[in-house]
Structure 1
Amino acid sequence: MKGKNYFIIASIVLAIIIASLTGCAGETAADQEEIIMGLDNTFAPMGFENDKGELVGFDVDLAEEVFKRTDFELKLQPIDWTMKETELNSGNIDLIWNGYSITEERKEKVAFTQPYLENRQVVVTLLDAEIETKADLAGKKVAVQSQSSALEAVENEPEVMATFDGGQPVLFDTYQEAMMDLEAGRVDAVVGDEVLVRYYIKQKDSEFYKVIGEDFGEEEYGIGVRKEDEELLDLLNSILDEMREDGTYDRIYNTWFEGQ
């Protein structure tokens, strides 16, 4: 009799566990009360820490306005940018939203919203550097951020990359580190997002740097979500459209980019 009771109890416990796991497996971000947004907190002006240690930026303002128009709570979560897709697909975050360029490679890992901002991958050097074209990067130390769209853009032009000192770019964890090495003369140029480069130059001495005429291509920023989160994706697209129509998008844009 005891053996039979144990069997019944064990069966019930197993059924509860299976039901629980099945429920978790079917849950999407739309079923949650809180949405976690992953960002690189060094990527000014999109998302970064100000002097008070607060997370601010164009993407931060945009995201906060978007989620004011929903029933979700928004949590901002700084992440290791090199692990962004892993963080998303493992469930540690629900969005990648921080100057996240739409590329074919990334489309294999995440679902993107409509584009919300245009960008270019530009080359910045010191003003007195004898670098005016991509051909002038031959024999030079060229810096990019690891796991960035700038790195992808450079790798998409292998004939140019092959001319760099060492035949490849110098990798940095953040653009700030790359720019510091440029200022110190440890690298000769940095390839990076135009929105970041222009903002950085504006905050520093604009006469100390130059952006050369040639670039490594145009791109667009989007918000990345898990592929199964179709409901969240549709919601984000709908609210972005709404914000463009009512002028809120332009107001936030002008706060960060007017005059650039």
Structure 2
Amino acid sequence: MEVKFKHTLRYDRKPSSRLALYGLLLVAALTLMLCVRTCSMPTLRVAERHPSGGDTLDVAIEYGPLSLYRYDDTLGGFSYDLLRQLASERGLHLKFHPVVALGDALSGLDEGLFDIVVGAMPMTERYRERYAFTAPVYIDRQVLVQLRDSAGKAPIGSQLDMAGHEVWVMAQSPVADRLHNLASEIGDTIYVVEDPAYGSEQLFIMTATGEIPSAVVNERIARVMAADYPQVDISTAVSFNQFQSWLCRKADSLLVNRLDTIMEAHRQTGGYRELSRRYFP
């Protein structure tokens, strides 16, 4: 009837080293591409992490299939493209800061380095006490990521089967709260490892390659990733559908209200509908 949190995360194993390097290279490449884009898009810039000041909003955006990713020589992602639309149509000045670990983004928000955190962030009561959420951007839920056995069957077939198993999540993610509640519901222990270095995509890959036993990530991200990893099962839901929003500091209520007003108007446009069909068919 408890959740045990393990905080000693980095094991001395070669796959971890490769993934760490992979994550750093991805962020470096994305940062460089965002810098190049400043030549043709003056409202979208990236620089060293310090408050921009003026009317520029610093946006910490999670690297992942729904937020920000690279395909060929182009940057994409539902949240990234949506923010670009808002910047273009509503005169917002944005500076993007790609991040892999959610903890880095939240720490930067707390320290005043960022104004907005964009990523796979469900609304939870504990986080509502700490941060201001924008109006919902989309709806998602969390699923368990695990390898199928030699017969093609998932070892964990339901939430009840998670008792006694080790599950990895992003450090400071609301998903840990959900697993705590789930452990109470099933009356048994779930061993939760909070990883401070990696995001949802990296945890999915670590599970797919057998480096960790399982992970919990958002379903929309898992479905995109599962197309390239047929050995992975994502059929076990860990939560109900939840609103996914962007985060701001509690003191920035005016910014939240401004974003909500802009988003409400933008939902009625053809650009938003086309974007939704592209990413959420």
Band the TM-score falls in, shorter-chain normalisation:
0.7 to 0.9
CA RMSD of aligned residues (A): 2.4
Q: Is residue 163 from structure 1 mapped to residue 186 from structure 2 by the alignment?
A: no
Alignment of 1:68-217 (within 5 A): 68-79=88-99, 80-127=101-148, 128=152, 129-159=154-184, 160=186, 162-164=188-190, 168-172=191-195, 173-202=198-227, 204-205=228-229, 207-217=230-240
Q: What residue number does 1:10 align with?
A: none
1:245 alignment partner in structure 2? 268
Determine the C-alpha separation between the residues in 2 that align with 1:244 and 1:46.
18
- Hey, which of these two has a bigger chunk of helix by percent? 1
Instruction: Look up the match of 1:39.
Output: 61
Deviation, 1:179, is 2.1
The amino acid across from 2:271 in the alignment is T
Partner secondary structure for residue 216 of structure 1: coil
What is the aligned counterpart of 1:228 among 251, 255, 260? 251
Q: Does the 8 A contact of 2:70 with 2:76 survive in 1?
A: yes
- CA separation of 1:143/1:51 partners in 2, compared to 1, >3 Å: closer, same or farther? farther
Do the aligned partners of residues 123 and 69 (structure 1) sit closer, same or farther apart at CA in structure 2, a change above 3 Å counting?
same
Matched position secondary structure for 1:245: coil
1:141·1:170 contact (CA, 8 Å) conserved in 2? yes
Q: Which region of structure 1 is more displaced relative to structure 2, 189-198 or 240-249?
A: 240-249
Distance 2:76 2:91 in 1: 22
For structure 1, list consecutive stretches of 5 or more residues without a partner in the other structure. 1-28
Closer, same or farther: CA 110–141 of 1 in aligned 2, 3 Å? closer
TM-score relative to the length of structure 1 = 0.75
Q: Following TM superposition, by how much is the alpha carbon of 1:123 offset from its aligned partner in structure 2, in angstroms?
A: 1.4
How much does 1:63 deviate?
Answer: 0.9
Per-residue CA deviations over 1:206-257 (Å, capped at 9, x if unaligned) read x422223442333211121223323322221112111211232221122222
**Please, which of 65, 75, 78 is the counterpart of residue 58 of structure 1?**
78
> 2 CA distance for matches of 1:189 and 1:241?
37
8 Å Cα contact 2:145/2:207 also seen in 1? no
Cα distance change on mapping 1:139 and 1:185 into 2, 3 Å: farther
CA distance in 2 between partners of 1:193 and 1:32 (Å): 35
- Partner of 1:108: helix, strand, or coil? helix
Please say which structure displays the higher CA radius of gyration: 1
Between stretches 225-234 and 114-123, larger displacement belongs to 225-234
TM-aligned CA distance change 1:111 to 1:253, over 3 Å: same
User: Which of 66, 69, 78 is matched with 1:48 structurally?
Assistant: 69
How far the C-alpha of 1:155 sits from its partner, in A, is 1.7
Opposite residue 60 of structure 2, the aligned amino acid is G
Q: Structure 2: which 5+ runs fail to align?
A: 1-50
Could you state the TM-score of these two structures normalised by the residue count of structure 2?
Answer: 0.70
